[in-house]
Each structure stands twice: as structure tokens, then as C-alpha cells.
Amino acid sequence: MAHGLIYEGVSPEPMAFSGGSAAQSTVLHAFDEFLGICHREDSAAFLRRMREYMPPAHRAFVEEIHGAVSLRQLVLSSGDTRLRAAFNLCVSALVDFRSCHITLVTKYIAAAAAKAKARRAEPNAGAGPSAGKPPSALEAKGTGGSHIFSFLKSIRDTTREGMISA
């Protein structure tokens, strides 16, 4: 539905919305802003769009952190090695979370989809409730419409780049 959908009784103009996604949750956006993580433009654009689905006060909270004094700059300018190590530990916990999440998505989306495809290819697989094929354009897309693996790996990698080197 490239042009959206007409919601009768709401608006005569077609409207387009993303599906629900955990990328609309405030907490990881808040951590990214707090730690000064900069995602690559296409991933950042997706995440920015997801912010439009947050409750306004949550979005305002994330923007408040974005506008505040940079923690990263403070740590850098302090020259304190213990502070830098603590900061890097926080960034690496976020990297670990995102790696673990990629494993989950691989198991429950990529491997599950491959299994379903193999089942469909079996002889006698023509009938039954699972016979209908999902549109292939959706195969590599998340519920929020992201290109799943390139998006998730890109934001994991840019999180890692957020570490402060010695």
C-alpha cells in the first residue's frame, strides 16, 4: 500500500503508518542519546520515524537527553581512565544486548522462515491453512518495516563504534 489506506470516518485522504515495533520503545533511544551513539543515516532515519509513535512525553524525554551536555564529551575531557572504562562498559553492554537480539531474530524470523519455506516445497504441501504464501517483499522486513538484518547489524556496529578508545 504505497499510498496508504483510507481510514473511513477519520480522513478522506489515505494515511500510511508503520506496524508496531520495539524500535518505538523509548528505553533504547534514551540509552543511545545518553551514550552519544550515532547511527548511520538510513538506520537513524528509521529510528527517528519510530519516535513519532512514542507517547509525546517519552519523545520529549529522549529529545531532552539529546540536547543535554554530552556525557561522552565529559568523559573524554576528564581524561579519567576509570571513568572511560565505566563508560565503555555501558556501551559494550548495549552492544551485547543488540548482538543477543540479532540471535533471537535469527532464530525466530530467519530460521523459522527458512523452515516454513522448506515445508512449502515438500510434495503434498499444497493444501492446508499454511498453503498461502506471504508476499515475498515482506520476507526480509520487520514489523516496523525495517530491512531487518542490515538495520539490526548496522545499529549494533555503530553502537560498538561509540566506545572511547585509549
d(CA 121, CA 126): 9
**Does residue 162 belong to the site contacting ligand HEM (CB under 6 A)?**
no
Q: Give the residue closest to ligand HEM by C-beta.
A: 142
**Does residue 154 belong to the site contacting ligand HEM (CB under 6 A)?**
no
- Say what the alpha-carbon torsion angle 105, 96, 26, 60 is, to the nearest 10 degrees: -140
Which of positions 22-51 make contact with ligand HEM (CB under 6 A)? 22-23, 25, 28
Which of positions 89-108 make contact with ligand HEM (CB under 6 A)? 98, 101, 104-105, 108
The answer to whether residues 156 and 95 touch, using CB atoms and an 8 Å cutoff, is yes
* SS3 at position 119: helix
d(CA 136, CA 150): 17
- Of the candidates 44, 61, 143, 164, which one interacts with ligand HEM according to CB under 6 A? 143
Kindly indicate which of the ranges 64-72, 79-87, 124-132, 140-148 contains the residues binding ligand HEM, using the contact rule CB under 6 A.
140-148
Binding-site residue ranges for heme b:
101
